Amino acid sequence: MMRKNTTKLLTDLRALMRQLPNNGGAVSAYIIPTDDPHQSEYISETDERRSFISGFDGSAGTAIVTQKQALLWTDGRYHQQAEQQLDENWTLMKDGLTTTPTMSSWLSNNLSAGDQVGVDGNLLSFREWNPLYTALSANDIQLTSIEQNLVDLIWEGHPPRQFKSIISLDLSITGKKIGDAVQLIRKEMRDKHANVLVVTALDEIAWLMNLRGSDIDYNPVFYSYVVLTQDELYLFVEKNQLPVGYEEHFRKNNVTVIVDEYENVQTILKDLIKKSTGKVWISPTSCYALSALIPEKKLLHEVSPVCAMKAVKNAVEAQGIVDCHIRDGIALCKYFAWLEDALNRGEKVDEISGATKLQGFREKLPKFAGLSFSTINGSGPNGAIIHYHPTPETNRPITLNEMYLCDSGAQFQ
């Protein structure tokens, strides 16, 4: 794997850390998580800041940069990959080993009392923020949420956030109306004396609104927020993403929706919080920046009710899952039968051509909506690399003489 030269990037970032734009002061350390504003499992190219600054493109890990050091914490799945991708500017912190200090421990032992640690509060969940803040505060070190992301400021050619077309799902697929789900949620809100509910998880929003998108590769979601009161339902989304006639979709689902622009969520939420006489409910897995808008006396930090509702499948959803597994199983059976025959006939098959062939079998299936992740197609030693996907530089032949790993999946409507 190619190593990225990060010397200039780190020099530029450290210059910003010494004098924060529009903030004054300085931070002694800057944290770069692997996250987007919705704490999504998968992120899009615009949010790959940790990968950009470090050169390590595994799906999990956190970077910390000080004026003299640059460190990357990642778990055992990625130690081998990180060793191959990090250049000499970086120190790999092998998370999970007893000899590796936690990030809070390392910061506490390597910074001085009165120092500031900066992070983009949109990229750290409250659940992650709170213990880190507590640990650092015990050593008189301040964890500070910085509104402007410093990596974005040095990222030339930073790809913009993509807002792609959204589709609506019929009740024959979802098995429930939005209005029915909203009624149940509002009852839970009343039981907990909550006047406002904030939903930030993209999969929860897509499920609740009976809508699907493709803003993040391999995920049927779209960038959005939902805010629910006892009388109003707000959907914050890029309006031009919505399907033509989306008003009819909501009418069929027995719900009235106030559609506002994606970037307006904080403005509207601040107003609703101010007016609220009860609690404001937000999941602790939501970003710190939104939780910080809510006064402590009004804050209700509990798992979103949408999360629990989404986990219990109705009869239509359950049958849909069964049908999709049958379809996908057919594609895999066809692929492995083809592969065995091809190799026995002496045909040359490599990791890339094999993955392409498998995708071709899936694309012929009804209701196919795309892959669910980049196919992990590893031959020989490549099969030992977690979340590996073949590239022209790493591509190896698939043979009868080496172990072969194929891990793949698909999305269906």
DSSP assignment string, 384-412 = GSTT----TTT--EE-TTS-EEEE--EEE
- Interval 76-91: pLDDT, tens: 888 988 999 999 999 9
Query: What is the distance between the alpha carbons of residues 267 and 262, in angstroms, rounded to a whole number?
Result: 11
What pLDDT is recorded for position 317?
96
The CB-based long-range contact list for 227-230 (8 Å cut-off, 24+ gap) reads 227/196, 227/197, 227/198, 227/199, 227/265, 227/268, 227/269, 227/272, 228/182, 228/185, 228/186, 228/189, 228/196, 228/197, 228/199, 229/195, 229/196, 229/197, 229/272, 230/186, 230/189, 230/190, 230/195
Residue 370 β-bridge partners: 411
Q: How far is CA 258 from CA 227, 231, 249, 336, 348, in A?
A: 10, 11, 13, 49, 56
pTM: 0.92
DSSP 8-state secondary structure symbol assigned to residue 243 = P
Q: Given this chain, do its domains 7-154 and 167-311 carry the same CATH topology? A: yes
Q: Write the burial class of residue 267 (CB in 10 Å: 0-12 exposed, 13-18 middle, 19+ buried).
A: exposed
User: Three-class SS of residue 24?
Assistant: coil
Question: Which CATH number is 7-154's, of 3.30.1360.20, 3.40.50.2000, 3.40.470.10, 3.40.350.10?
Answer: 3.40.350.10
Which of 266, 267, 194 has the alpha carbon at shortest distance from 228? 194
Which of 237, 230, 162 has the alpha carbon at shortest distance from 205? 237
Question: Which CATH number applies to 167-311?
Answer: 3.40.350.10
Q: Where are the domains of the chain?
A: 7-154, 167-311, 315-412
Query: What is the distance between the alpha carbons of residues 290 and 283, in angstroms, rounded to a whole number?
Result: 10
What pLDDT is recorded for position 407?
96
- Interval 257-311: pLDDT, tens: 999 999 999 999 999 999 999 999 999 999 999 999 999 999 999 999 999 999 9
State the pLDDT confidence band at 24, using cuts at 50, 70 and 90.
low
Out of 101-115, 147-161, 214-228, 386-400, pick the least confident: 386-400
Which of 13, 12, 23, 261 has the alpha carbon at shortest distance from 161? 261
Query: What is the distance between the alpha carbons of residues 197 and 388, in angstroms, rounded to a whole number?
Result: 39
Which of 100, 126, 123, 93 has the alpha carbon at shortest distance from 30? 123
The percentage of the chain sitting over the pLDDT mark of 70, rounded to a whole number, equals 99
Average of per-residue pLDDT values in the chain: 95
Whether the predicted pLDDT of 153 surpasses 70? yes
DSSP string over 171-207: HHHH-S-HHHHHHHHHHHHHHTTEEEEEE--HHHHHH
What pLDDT is recorded for position 23?
58
Query: What is the distance between the alpha carbons of residues 35 and 225, in angstroms, rounded to a whole number?
Result: 16
Give the mean model confidence (pLDDT) for residues 98-119.
96
What's the gap between Cα 257 and its chain centre?
26
